[in-house]
Amino acid sequence: MSQSSQTLPFLPWNRPSIGDEEIAEVTDTLRSGWLTHGPKAALFEQAVRDALGVADAFAVSSCTAALHLAFLSASIGTGDEVITPSLTFCAAPNALLQTGARPVFVDVEPVTYNIDPQAAEAAITERTKAIVVMHYGGHPCDLRAFRKLADDHGLLLIEDAAHALHASRDGQRAGSVGDLAVFSFYANKVMTTGEGGMLVGRGELVQRARLLGRHGIDSSIWQRHGTHSTADYEVIMPGLKYVMPDVTAAIGVQQFRKLPAFTARRAGIAAAYTRELAGLPGLHVPTVLPDVEHGWFLYSLFIGPGAPLTRDQVAEHLRDQYKIATSQHFRPVHTLQIYSGSAVAPLPVTECAAAQQLSLPCYPAMTDPQITQVITAIRALWER
């Protein structure tokens, strides 16, 4: 351990970048007298809709809420099978179970760790209703292949783009190709509202989700406010309550404006890591395919045979000796307690990734000395 590392403050795996602009926008909302889903949510929705070129967008309380609404609005339910990677967060599979549908886990490809189109095609049965792709770490999956696969088989394509706002592949923005797509604004994401999410996609599906997300009521409280009685409404479907409040949307409006700069900074950090770490024995840096704009939610290392330490030892040394937090993405869903035994096919790439993957700190609030701190620590571990 170097002398200086003893005095370094702990480097968290993530820290949001909140500035005076977000604080001013929230203050404006608090002073406005309108706190729940209203004009700020509409502004945020419009900005995302225009940037993606999608028909509609609905700001909600979390990406998990957006997933649940996506499945409900697409009438996914009991008896349906939905193809999804296991190398993902539990949110989509959990929401599928809530609808009565069954997630069918398939393997990922070894270069991008995105859902493998061939594995997905092999898993299609007469019960398959949809494919949920996930853009792992911010690297978009093969959107053209999945759009074609869904169209050829009459399936819905839903993008879990929780990691990939501002990412693109072959000129197509992540979140703009699926029948529906969802984004997360959870505290550690590429932009944040603390908690929050967005559902985008085909007009009629998002409109149905909008009704389902406000109790199934036929008009919004913002529409009723000031024009007619707030009790003058009808419930036209059994909905839930998933809307994003304006206090939260205010943060989103400002964060979304900063997203291109955030992504550029993340890309710069990723480039520095790759330049300084590529070539260390047994350590694999992320591959970015041609014509991809990576969202860089994750900077994923894979630590395998030939490395002087295992992935877990590297994580431990970084934490204990160098005061650097890391993370792992993900514990494969089929290995989690309630999903055990649910994988019908072997998932070797997923399981290999689960054993070898390590996410380094990579976020705009990092300083240049902190980036050097991470690089120096990893190189030192390899040189011991």
Ligand X SMILES: Cc1ncc(COP(=O)(O)O)c(C=O)c1O
Binding site for ligand X (CB under 6 A): 62-64, 88-89, 91, 134, 160, 162-163, 184, 186, 197
Nearer to ligand X by Cβ, of 51 and 91: the residue is: 91
β-pair type (168-169, 180-184): unpaired
Least distance in Å: CB of 188 to ligand X?
A: 7
40 is catalytic: no
Report yes or no: 190 and 296 within 8 Å, Cβ to Cβ: yes
Name the nearest CA neighbour of 48 among 173, 213, 229: 173
Least distance in Å: CB of 108 to ligand X?
A: 13
Residues 6+ apart with CB under 8 A from 138: 163, 164, 167, 190, 294, 295, 296, 297, 298
Phi/psi region, residue 194 (left: phi>0; alpha: psi -120 to 50; beta: rest), is: left
Cβ atoms within 10 Å of 76's Cβ, excluding its own: 22
In terms of Cβ atoms closer than 10 Å to its own Cβ (0-12, 13-18, 19+), residue 205 is: buried
Nearer to ligand X by Cβ, of 37 and 163: the residue is: 163
Nearer to ligand X by Cβ, of 244 and 378: the residue is: 244
Task: Pinpoint the alpha helices (H) of the chain.
Answer: 3-7, 20-32, 39-52, 63-73, 91-99, 117-122, 143-153, 203-212, 221-224, 246-277, 311-320, 348-356, 368-383
Nearer to ligand X by Cβ, of 101 and 283: the residue is: 101
Residue 135, classed as helix, strand or coil, is: coil
Exactly one of 129, 148, 189, 323 is catalytic; name it.
Answer: 189
Least distance in Å: CB of 65 to ligand X?
A: 7
Q: Check whether the bond before 183 is cis (ω within 30° of 0).
A: no
Least distance in Å: CB of 95 to ligand X?
A: 9
Least distance in Å: CB of 66 to ligand X?
A: 8
Residue indicated by tokens 């009521």? 217
Least distance in Å: CB of 241 to ligand X?
A: 15
Nearer to ligand X by Cβ, of 29 and 193: the residue is: 193
Nearer to ligand X by Cβ, of 199 and 303: the residue is: 199
Which sequence positions are flagged as catalytic?
189
